[in-house]
Amino acid sequence: MAKATFAAGCFWGVEDVFRHTPGVVSTRVGYTGGTTSNPTYHEVCTDRTGHAEAVEVEYDPAKISYEALLEVFWENHDPTTLNRQGPDVGTQYRSAVFVHDGEQESAARKSKEDLQRSGRYSRPVVTEIAPAPTFWEAEDYHQQYFEKRGITHCQI
């Protein structure tokens, strides 16, 4: 098994998309990329910890490639909005790929460059690509949030 970590706005929807992707073994939501140890949701929501709401994806590389996971990531958020996804604003909602090794970093950078060159977006792709720091698992009520509540998407 391998691990990938993505931030693309509110982690509830991001987690749900990846959890239903064939080849993904498990997902968990949490916080990464900040300065506070073991932050809570309420601390992260203050936009003062530096953490992003993120999803850690465990996947089977024999069934899905890291590049395919990157495609799922790009397809399911707007990578051109800095520290924002839809109505959610703050650094905790930034677009980021937290890489676990050099191969992931190379793949993420190439994928981002390809997306920018594709002309799909008129604005620059602002997605951060950075080494994966400590991943702090979010509180239990955030895990598989949609499934626990019987909903299929965020109500905006």
Active site residues: 10
Name, in order, each residue with C-beta under 8 angstroms of 136's C-beta and a sequence gap of 6 or more: 30, 31, 32, 37, 38, 39, 51
Name, in order, each residue with C-beta under 8 angstroms of 84's C-beta and a sequence gap of 6 or more: 9, 90, 93
* C-alpha dihedral (39, 43, 46, 48), degrees to nearest 10: -40
Contact 83, 89 (CB under 8 A): yes
> Residue 24, SS3?
strand
H/E element holding 58? strand 52-59
